[in-house]
Amino acid sequence: MIKRALICGISGQDGGFLARLLLDKGYEVHGTARDAQMATFHNLARLGARERVTCHSMALNDFRSVLQVLVKVNPDEIYNLAGQSSVGLSFEQPVETLESISVGTLNLLEVIRFIQKPIRLYNAGSSECFGDTGGAPADESTPFRPRSPYAVAKATAHWQVANYREAYNLFACTGILFNHESPLRPERFVTRKIIASACRIAQGSREKLQLGAISIARDWGLAAEYVDAMWRMLQRESAEDYVIATGETNTLESFVAHTFAVLGLSWEEYVTTDPSFLRPSEIMISRGNPGKAHRELGWQAVCRMKDVIEVMIQAQQEMP
């Protein structure tokens, strides 16, 4: 039998890569956006998947809307990738962030419970929930200490999923993903901002790249690899949560330095720091321990920070 998947938030970076992965595995893929008739689904088109996906309009914070789409699609698997996705923007839009992530996740769980179908749910969690661990690698047993409205919302959704799994025996799990990047990121994300600016400078632009704290350290992986871990979580006999990361941490300064070096430039000549980019409560070091995912899912990141940078630079240079 052909499996049917519903990807909530299919227009984003992860949604595009996941759709392509599932299509390649023979799935019938459906996706949602708040207004599917108006959405461009640019990422799906860029990956050559747009014509192979059926898209539906769905407002995740509206229970009736969620119920209608789930009854219509009748999916075997649901991947919840929807909601406000920027940590920085969450400080400016805390209510929208909390509602779009936590209420949306709760509605999915409640509809699955209500219609009593054996649907498997993957929920997109975040390493931001751990807060600052002082450099210690975070695993599935590390306590949450969220330091942004985005992280608070993701932590809320995480515990909602755990509660429904234990209380109602739903197959529902959360992937606690560390930073994962790709050429599909919009430029409001710092990694894409760095790549795009550096490539323009290499082509003769006189601009300066303005950044906040370049001493912060992150675990950067490649998004196209991380969606495979999402799929693997839903193929297990029982639902569990997993940390997905490379296990390697680098500073933002290192990310910048390698980007400019690949382009034959010295980053110090072009980068300035701007205090306005600093967040009210910044996480200085983010480090993940993906050991459980490696042992139980057979998943391991292949690409590290330098590989991610080179993939993104190549894609940036090929853009018209």
Per DSSP, the three-state class of 304 is coil
Q: Which residue shows structure tokens 């109602």?
A: 168
Catalytic residue among 27, 150, 164, 270: 150
The percent helix, strand, coil of the chain (3-state, each to 5) is 45, 15, 40
Sign of CA dihedral 157, 83, 5, 118: positive
Which two three-digit tokens encode residue 210?
Answer: 């303005």
| Catalytic status, residue 126 | yes
| Catalytic status, residue 128 | yes
Catalytic residue among 90, 127, 128, 225: 128
Residues with Cβ within 8 Å of residue 112, at least 6 apart in sequence: 70, 78, 119, 121, 164, 170, 172
Are 153 and 101 in contact by the 8 Å Cβ rule? The answer is yes
Q: Residue 82 belongs to what H/E stretch?
A: none
Residues with Cβ within 8 Å of residue 58, at least 6 apart in sequence: 8, 32, 33, 34, 36, 65, 66, 68, 69
Q: Which residue shows structure tokens 């839009």?
A: 93
Count Cα neighbours of 273 within 13 Å in the Cβ-side half-sphere: 10
Catalytic sites, residue numbers? 126, 128, 150
